Amino acid sequence: MYWSEQHFITQGLIELLPFGEILSNIHFYSYVDYSLDKLISKANQTLLYWRLSGIAQYDGTPVTQLSLFYNETFLWHYSAPSYQEEICSQIQSGHRVRFLSQFLLSQTEIEVEFNEIQLQTNFNDDFQFVYTNSNTYQYKFANLRWQPIHTILLFPLINPPTFSLPIMVPNALGRETEYQAYLTQVQGLPNNIHIQDHYWDSVNSTPANTLRPTCVNTPSTGSDTDYWTPTNFQFASPTPESGSTNLAHLCTCGTDICYCDT
């Protein structure tokens, strides 16, 4: 109902929300796999804190929900420019780059939304950052499980057909020193957008340009074929277990994920 810099949120919860960070594919899926479940307990702590402390809105009514959004000035004029070369390299190599755009907490659900950074060619044949909607995950306290409610995979990653432009003029409001201090903190985190060379050593993959999209800018309907035509190839196989004759695993892969026969 109103905007405020001061949010009544527990420290443990805010520390699990990577606002302002640039998320590589590895970092993004690591977050989805390991941190979303941690959000549940921290969110419950915040809900309990609201109730026990009697936290109220400006009109005296109890707080029932909270929405947090990313800071546009920090992301587009501090964080993203400091990783510009790495971001462009990752996107040009076919890897997706995302950032946390919104977090919602209410008495009935948790929602986490990510946007994706892409590249647009400008008049000087240089690249500029643009962004699109990417992934939204929702947790209903009644269902006790996370589920994706919104997924958009756009092709290509460079010059997408639809996109939004970042803000051109920063609005630091005298907080330049604070932003710079937080940028130093973000840059010091162990997870960044670099993909170490050895990560792909055991994978013999097909170049991204051989994956042909069958649908563009379409919300998820649960079918992988909405987004790509799968490509079959052989992965380098680990040492087979005793008694096993399976020497290779057949995998069907898209841009972001592979499904294997084991």
Task: Classify residue 5: in a domain, yes or no.
Answer: no
Answer yes or no: do 33 and 151 share one domain: yes
Cis peptide upstream of residue 156 (ω within 30 degrees of 0)? yes
Stated as kind and residue range, the H or E segment containing 88 is helix 84-92
DSSP percent split of the chain into helix, strand, coil, nearest 5: 30, 25, 45
Mean pLDDT by 10 residues, the chain (262 residues): 65 93 91 94 93 84 89 95 92 92 95 96 87 94 91 80 92 90 89 56 45 37 37 42 49 68 64
Whether 175 maps to a domain, the answer reads: yes
Q: Are residues 107 and 32 in the same domain?
A: yes
Tokens 């419950």 locate to: 44
Asked if 84 and 188 sit in the same domain, the reply is: yes
Residue 133 domain-assigned? yes
What pTM did the predictor assign?
Answer: 0.72
What is the per-residue pLDDT for 7?
65
Q: Which domain holds residue 249?
A: 208-260
Among 174, 195, 216, give the residue marking a domain's end. Answer: 195
Q: How many domains does the chain have?
A: 2
Do both 17 and 129 map to the same domain? yes
Q: Do 225 and 143 share a domain, yes or no?
A: no
Shared-domain flag, residues 212 and 139: no
CA–CA distance, 238 with 248 (Å, rounded to integer) = 8
Same domain, 121 and 237: no
